[in-house]
Amino acid sequence: MNKVLSTVFLILLCIFSTQSYAQRTRCHNNGYPNDNNQRRGIAYPNQFEEWMQGMLSQQRLIQSVNQATRKAETKYRLPIVVHIIHKGESYGVESNITDEQILSQIKATNVDLALENANFINTPEVFKPYATSLNIELILAKRDPQGNPTNGITRSYGGNSNWLYKEESLKSIIQWDPEKYFNIWVCDYGNDLGFSSWPVSNLPGMEALGSTPQEDGVIVNYTAFGSNDFGGPYPILEEDYDLGRTLTHEMGHYLGLFHTWGTGGCSNDDYVEDTPMTSGSYTGGCDLTQPIMSCGQQTMIENYMDYTLDACMTMFTHGQKDRVEVVLNNSPRRLSLLTSDALIPVDPSDYYDLALFDVEYPIVTSTPDIDINIIAKNLGNQINNVAFSVKSQSVAYNDTLKSLPLFTQNSTVNKIISPKSLSYIDSIATFDVEVEIIDEDIYDFNPSNNFSTNLNSYLHTKSDFIPYKISFEYEDENSNKWAKVSKLNRFAWKDSTIIENNKEISFLTLTDNNYINDEAWLVSPLLNVKEVSEAYLEIGYTFQAEDNNSSDSLFVYYSTELPERYILLDTIELNNTQGHFKSNVSLSEKINLNSFLQEENLRIGLVKKGGLKGLMGIHEINFYENDVLNTKKPEENSHLIFPNPTKNKRFKIRFNLNERQDITCNIYSISGRIVKSINFDGTINQIQEIDLSKEPQGIYFIKIAYKNSIETDKIILR
């Protein structure tokens, strides 16, 4: 097939998809804010392809010699590191996917690269002779850049709700040397499924063009990373992209392959002789009664570099393999992967590394007698004996685990220590946690990861009941019922004010910080939910992002136990409110609490993890006994009557008060006769219904007697 060098090509790296969410974008062809050609040199695409064609000619000559001498093909083993960039979820929840799901992805991609995929049998007969193995195997790194043992998987909290158009920030969180590691970032990638950097040529003066070292690697959306063909099922995977072909596709770009249609149309394609010319992508399914035709011939929709669904992809071609081999044998940061020491295991006979993996405890508690669950992870050779300690106010609480039979590399053990009555000063107890190897004649290679200091627990015994409201614009006794505490005492909620229309407005705020490992907790009093038949939570907040592309998350936890044990209830995605930080630019999130109706000790915790991407303020928090989702909210310290005129002579009153009040409602006919008198005790934010079905239609007046005022409204009864 005639190949035409394009004056401009797109570094096309991508994906598409539909899920129950919305239409997915299969291809993220311009992953950086600035145009790639402007950024890296407009002449680069032509120069790269000229270099590629020259190298292909040399390679074919070498291959002919090898074939004559029957020299075996090279098996390319690439060391990979998978960086999980999560949003603070627990292990195995949403974007913090499990190791098993990661391993299923690597297995699936290796099967694809080796042409061992079971669905190859579905390839049209006309294309089967062109299919080939790429002789590539992905292997998780065995040692990290510091020479320590690793399983090739890292986990980092990212702070953004999604990373689309924020690739540079994403990769700055963590990247291992791209000369030695094939970096793969797995994250929430918004509406796109993947993106890859492009290889560079080894031509003098061109090293700075193409992708830079800081950009090098592949991004895959966590909903498309993994394969239900190998383990699982993994419910988080999207139905049409659950076989792991996103990474296979992106690897093609990483190793120099274009989409099969190139830049589009029937005159520009992918510079590969044995992929049929096609005018564009195919995004449909593969249950076809007739072949897909384009540019006068059958389209190879089964190629991994098309946009078909995962189940439809089956093959790479010989021509694509030739390009990949040129890149692997010549391109900077591809050739060096073949000689990386990342796959050489650290000698386990002399490497021991015990690490403090996690500490689980109630950061806000109603009792000083708490359980502290200390989790230790073995990063080195087998360890048999481990000591655990909690230290508070110079008092140590110690325990051990001895003769551990299977505490081998990457396994974890835990020990719960229950220090009796931690020393709480001004309601806060501060303590340190440490784990230690106590085997004889064993030296811990990295003792710096054995401890965590200045952890905080807050003693908070105040209680209340639903319905309930706290407004941070008004200081009252409710303000002191909420605990504001920082896990590491660095990053916490604080009272703030702004001047708006010559009026001072109060908020509870968080400001930008760099304490990535800290957590700011805002925790409710113990709430009794037994006296209501429905329960809902509404959080009114404002978020001003640091730039137009920034977003963040607020985590909502709950506990119903004593001592408290906090469990994730919901995640609120924080998006920019048009650059304003004002009381009248407020967002809200409503959460159903009906699963807690019989609880007497419900706590709600609003948690912001460190690394806030802007300025956040909370105005008020409401716990309702009615579903207010489809009703208008009254002004502060007021009420709203609806419907008015009434329906079937019934109407409702929604209240929005700053404190609980006992209210009297008197309803008068137009002649001044009292037709109904009702008392609503403990009113704050409820919806109350009034039935006047026994009264004739007409005009009535309702007088609502508050603590310090009386308001009168007209009602039209129908």
Whether residues 433 and 480 share a domain: the answer is: no
Q: pLDDT value at position 167?
A: 87
Q: Is residue 87 part of a domain?
A: yes
Average pLDDT value for residue range 681-701: 95
Residues 644, 624: Cα–Cα separation, whole Å = 23
State residue 139's pLDDT score.
96
- Note the pLDDT tens digit of each residue in 404-445: 988 888 899 999 999 877 888 888 899 999 999 999 888 887
Give the pLDDT band (50/70/90) at residue 274: very high
Lowest mean pLDDT across 326-335, 388-397, 537-546, 593-602: 537-546
Write down which residue in 419, 440, 459 finishes a domain. Answer: 459
Tell me the pLDDT tens digit for each residue of 56-104.
878 776 666 666 544 556 789 999 999 999 988 888 999 999 999 999 9
Q: Which of 408, 436, 459 is the last residue of a domain?
A: 459
Residue 671 shares a structural domain with residue 613: no
What pLDDT, on the 0 to 100 scale, is given for residue 613? Answer: 64
Same domain, 531 and 469: yes
The yes-or-no verdict on residue 30 having pLDDT over 80 is: no
What is the per-residue pLDDT for 547? 65
Type of residue at 654: R
Query: Quick one: tokens of 400?
Result: 């051990």
Check whether 559 has a pLDDT greater than 90: yes
CATH number at residue 437: 2.60.40.10
Does the pLDDT value for residue 401 go beyond 80?
A: yes
Quick check: 500 pLDDT over 70?
Answer: no
Compute the average pLDDT of residues 524-540.
94
Between these two residues, 184 and 8, which has the higher pLDDT value?
184
pLDDT value of residue 505: 62
Considering the domain architecture, whether residues 221 and 335 belong to the same structural domain is answered as yes
Q: Is residue 121 part of a domain?
A: yes
Rounded Cα–Cα distance for residues 654 and 664 (Å): 14
Per-residue buried b or exposed e for 309-331, using 16+ beta carbons within 10 Å of the residue's own CB: bbbbbbbbbebbbbbbbbbbbbb
- Looking at the structure, do residues 430 and 533 belong to the same domain, yes or no? no
Structure tokens at 449: 């990861």
Angstrom CA distances, 242 to 156, 202, 235, 288, stand at 24, 36, 9, 20
Q: Establish if 604 belongs to a structural domain.
A: yes
Long-range CB contacts for residues 473-481, cutoff 8 Å, separation at least 24: 473/505, 473/506, 473/507, 473/583, 473/619, 473/620, 474/506, 474/658, 475/506, 476/658, 476/659, 478/659, 481/524, 481/525
Mean pLDDT over 20-29 rounds to 50
User: In the prediction, which pLDDT does 579 show?
Assistant: 46
The verdict on 656 and 703 lying in the same domain is yes
Task: Report phi then psi at 44, rounded to 5.
Answer: -60, -45
Q: What is the pLDDT of residue 577?
A: 55
Contact assessment for residue 287 and residue 272, using Cβ atoms and an 8 Å cutoff? no
Residue 654 confidence (pLDDT): 96
Residue 424 lies in a domain: yes
Task: Work out the average pLDDT over 281-310.
Answer: 88
Q: How far apart are CA 184 and CA 193, in angstroms?
A: 13
Q: Among 2-6, 132-136, 599-603, name the one with the lowest average pLDDT.
A: 2-6
The string over 95-115, giving b where at least 16 C-beta atoms fall within 10 Å of a residue's C-beta and e elsewhere, is bbbbbebbbbbbbbbbbbbee
Q: Quick one: 610 and 538 in the same domain?
A: yes
pLDDT at 82: 98
Average pLDDT rounded to a whole number, residues 505-516 = 62
Q: What is the pLDDT of residue 664?
A: 97
Establish if 8 belongs to a structural domain. Answer: no
Most confident of 265-269, 398-402, 474-478, 483-487: 398-402
Q: What CATH number does the domain containing 191 carry? A: 3.40.390.10
Burial label, 405 (beta-carbon count in 10 A; 0-12, 13-18, 19+): exposed
The reply to whether 583 and 690 lie within a common domain is no
| Res. 670: pLDDT tops 80 | yes
- Percent of the chain whose predicted confidence (pLDDT) is above 90: 53
Task: Provide the CATH number for the domain around residue 671.
Answer: 2.60.40.1930
Per-residue pLDDT averaged across 455-481, rounded?
A: 84
Rounded to the nearest 10 degrees, how much is the dihedral formed by the CA atoms of 52, 53, 57, 63? 50
pLDDT > 70? residue 693: yes
Q: What pLDDT is recorded for position 619?
A: 84
Residue 220 and residue 335 share a domain: yes
Residue 412 amino acid letter: T
First-residue to last-residue Cα distance in the chain: 79
Q: Please give the pLDDT value at position 548.
A: 66
Q: Which residues are catalytic?
A: 250
Task: Please name which of 606, 563, 523 lies closest in space to residue 416, comparing C-alpha atoms.
Answer: 563
Instruction: Give the Cβ contact number of residue 57 at 10 Å.
Output: 9
Q: Residue 15: pLDDT above 50?
A: no
Whether the predicted pLDDT of 605 surpasses 80 = yes
Per-residue confidence (pLDDT) for residue 13, from 0 to 100: 33
The answer to whether the CB of 164 falls within 8 A of the CB of 190 is yes
Distance, CA of 219 to CA of 189 (rounded, Å): 8
The model's pTM is 0.59
- pLDDT band at 518; cut points 50, 70, 90: confident
Query: How many CB atoms sit inside 10 A of residue 349's CB?
Result: 7
For residues 610 and 660, state if they share a domain: no
Q: Are residues 90 and 233 in the same domain?
A: yes
Question: pLDDT at residue 2 above 50?
Answer: no
* Across 296-320, average pLDDT: 94
Helix (H) or strand (E) holding 68: helix 44-68
User: Average pLDDT, stretch 119-125?
Assistant: 94
Which SS3 state, helix, strand or coil, does residue 416 take?
strand
If one counts the domains in the chain, the total is 4
Q: Cis before residue 33, ω within 30 degrees of 0?
A: no
Q: Coil, helix or strand for 318?
A: helix
Mean pLDDT of 344-349: 75
Reply yes or no on whether the pLDDT at 465 is more than 90: yes
pLDDT at 43: 40
Per-residue pLDDT for 281 more than 80? Answer: yes
Residue 472: domain span: 463-624
- Position 35 scores a pLDDT of 36
Residue 504 is predicted with a pLDDT of 62
107 within domain boundaries: yes
* Residue 519 exposed, middle or buried by CB count within 10 Å (0-12, 13-18, 19+): buried
Residue 3 domain-assigned? no
For every residue of 121-143, DSSP letters joined together read GGS-TTTGGGEE---EEEEE-SB
Instruction: Report the mean per-residue pLDDT for the chain.
Output: 84
Whether 633 has a pLDDT exceeding 70, the answer reads yes
CA 344 to chain centre: 32
Rounded distance between C-alpha atoms, residue 347 and residue 275, angstroms: 46
pLDDT at 41: 35
Whether the pLDDT of residue 338 is over 60: the answer is: yes
Q: Which residues contact 7 (CB under 8 A, 6 or more apart)?
A: 45, 46
In a domain, 1, yes or no: no
Say if CB 621 and CB 469 are below 8 A apart: yes
Asked if pLDDT for residue 29 goes beyond 60, the answer is no
Q: Both 195 and 324 in a single domain? A: yes
The helix (H) or strand (E) run that includes residue 320 is: helix 318-330
Look at residue 593 in the predicted model and tell me its pLDDT: 97
- Domain boundary at 624, 651, 683, which? 624
For residue 599, what pLDDT is reported?
96
- The CATH number of whichever domain residue 539 belongs to comes to 2.60.120.200
